[in-house]
Structure formats: structure tokens, C-alpha cells
Amino acid sequence: GQQLNQSPQSMFIQEGEDVSMNCTSSSIFNTWLWYKQDPGEGPVLLIALYKAGELTSNGRLTAQFGITRKDSFLNISASIPSDVGIYFCAGPQGGSEKLVFGKGTKLTVNP
């Protein structure tokens, strides 16, 4: 089945640094979703991308839908302690209501 490879698995950064993470697949996706999960909570949708090449921002977050439709990137600028959590990419499983999820990037921000 379709799989999403997310990297890096974890990141340890200093407050104020920029962060970049990505998600790749061997299959084409028509939608890319980025979720954030705070410790002990459910994932919350950050950004949704629907067109190849699309670049979308949400505050300090910017996500891009890769031109090949096989990858997506999430950048966080000027990180702050509340950015801590697990970031998941996801995309619809072809022809179904289900989503495929990456295994997540765990972000730690040191004040």
C-alpha cells in the first residue's frame, strides 16, 4: 500500500531557529495534510495543500506541495517553546476515505 516517509524522526533545536521537515512517497498524492500533536493531545490540522507546487502559510508555518506530487515540506520559522510536539504528514489513500500518515517528526525546542 501507499506509504509516507517522514524525516527527520526527531529534531532538537534552540528557540529562535528555523525548522524544516519533509515527507516523501513513491506514490502520487493529490492532497497533503500537515498535523501537529501536542503532548497528550490529539493531532490538529495545521495546513492542507491541494495543488502541486502550492505554497501555503499559517503564521510562522509554511508548507509546500511538491511539483512531482510525491513530496511535501513543512518549515517553521523562528521556533518557540510551544512548537514542541509531533508533526505528521498525511495524504488520502487512493480511492478511499482513509488517510495515510507518516510516522511523525518529534520536535523539541530548548529555551
Burial 47-75 (b: 16+ CB within 10 A, else e): bbbeebebebeeeebbbbbbeebebbbbb
Of 12, 26, 42, 82, the residue at the interface with another protein (CB under 8 A) is 42
Residue 40 interacting with another protein (CB under 8 A): yes
Stretch touching another protein by CB under 8 A, among 17-25, 40-48, 62-70, 77-85: 40-48
Residues in Cβ contact with 95 at an 8 Å cutoff, skipping those fewer than 6 apart: none
Stretch touching another protein by CB under 8 A, among 14-22, 62-70, 77-85, 91-99: 91-99
Residue 104 interacting with another protein (CB under 8 A): yes
Q: Smallest distance from the beta carbon of 78 to another protein, in angstroms? A: 27
- Which residue from 103, 80, 111, 81 is spatially nearest to 21, judged by alpha carbons? 103
34 within 8 A of 47, measured Cβ to Cβ: yes
CB atoms within 10 A of CB 102: 23
Of 43, 61, 73, 87, the residue at the interface with another protein (CB under 8 A) is 43
Of 44, 55, 78, 80, the residue at the interface with another protein (CB under 8 A) is 44
Q: What is the gyration radius of the CA atoms in the chain, in angstroms? A: 13
Query: Footprint of another protein on this chain (CB under 8 A)?
Result: 31, 33, 35, 40-45, 48, 50, 88, 90, 92, 97-99, 101-104
